[in-house]
């Protein structure tokens, strides 16, 4: 029952308007089912093959979020059922999601990923690259994707001040984007930031989606 207890503890402290994405990558179906039976419905995966296998074998009312780095050649495998793609880090990827979503007869919800961390290993647009992409306006011709907000990952550091600063920078950019490009779009409302070690800071900075794995399922089995 540890997973159930962990889940309940996190859900009990979430403010209204903040949703939990249970990061189930590398965890077995049994662990996901325990969280599902405790009421959790949103799960996050970062590998296409693993997500597809889980989607095929687990309850159909699960809302699957893809939270990893998505390669364009893998898009077609998840587009028929994925609920939200968190990591759109290029216009090319967004256009491919649109193309595959059109083939599947769907409109797929997406978040633009911003690079806010100090580490080079993280993916995402810089703020200026994202402004340029949104200004160019080609994204507005893509009718089978829906931009619903932004996603970012803070640096993996114990420096709370730095984490706060990074989350706040993303929230500030979210407000700018909302005002400049999405003022009349009610669906542009999600800010996906915060993981097991920093989600309290993310919520304080305005996150609406937290991505929590090890705090629910325990350490991952790589």
Average pLDDT over all residues of the chain: 95
The DSSP secondary-structure symbol of 72 reads G
Instruction: Give the residue among 12, 54, 49, 48 at the shortest CA–CA distance from 31.
Output: 54
* pLDDT of res. 219: 80
Task: Note the pLDDT tens digit of each residue in 158-213.
Answer: 999 999 999 999 999 999 999 999 999 999 999 999 999 999 999 999 999 999 99
Judge whether residue 220 has pLDDT over 70. no
Judge whether residue 222 has pLDDT over 60. no
* pLDDT of res. 221: 56
Task: Note the pLDDT tens digit of each residue in 93-136.
Answer: 999 999 999 999 999 999 999 999 987 766 899 999 999 999 99
- Fold classified for 2-217: TIM Barrel (3.20.20)
Residues 6+ apart with CB under 8 A from 155: 117, 118, 119, 162, 163, 166
Q: Give the start-to-end residue ranges of the domains of the chain.
A: 2-217
């Amino acid at each position: 029952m540890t997973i159930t207890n962990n889940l309940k503890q996190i859900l009990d402290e979430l403010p209204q308007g903040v949703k939990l994405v249970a990061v189930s990558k590398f965890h077995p179906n049994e662990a996901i089912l325990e969280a599902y039976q405790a009421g959790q419905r949103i799960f996050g995966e970062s590998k296409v093959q693993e997500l597809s296998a889980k989607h095929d074998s687990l309850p159909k009312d699960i809302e699957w979020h893809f939270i990893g780095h998505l390669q364009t050649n893998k898009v077609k495998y998840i587009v028929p059922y994925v609920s939200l793609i968190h990591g759109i880090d290029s216009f090319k990827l967004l256009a491919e999601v649109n193309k595959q979503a059109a083939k599947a007869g769907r409109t797929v919800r997406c978040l633009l990923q911003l690079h806010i961390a100090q580490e080079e290993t993280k993916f995402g647009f810089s703020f200026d690259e994202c402004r340029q992409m949104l200004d160019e306006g080609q994204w507005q011709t893509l009718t089978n994707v829906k931009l619903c907000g932004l996603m970012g990952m803070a640096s993996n550091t114990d420096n709370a001040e730095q984490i706060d600063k990074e989350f706040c920078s993303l929230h500030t950019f979210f407000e700018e984007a909302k005002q400049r490009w999405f003022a009349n779009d009610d669906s542009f409302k999600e800010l996906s930031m915060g993981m097991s070690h920093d989600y309290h800071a993310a919520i304080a900075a305005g996150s609406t989606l937290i991505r929590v794995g090890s705090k629910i399922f325990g350490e991952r089995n790589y």
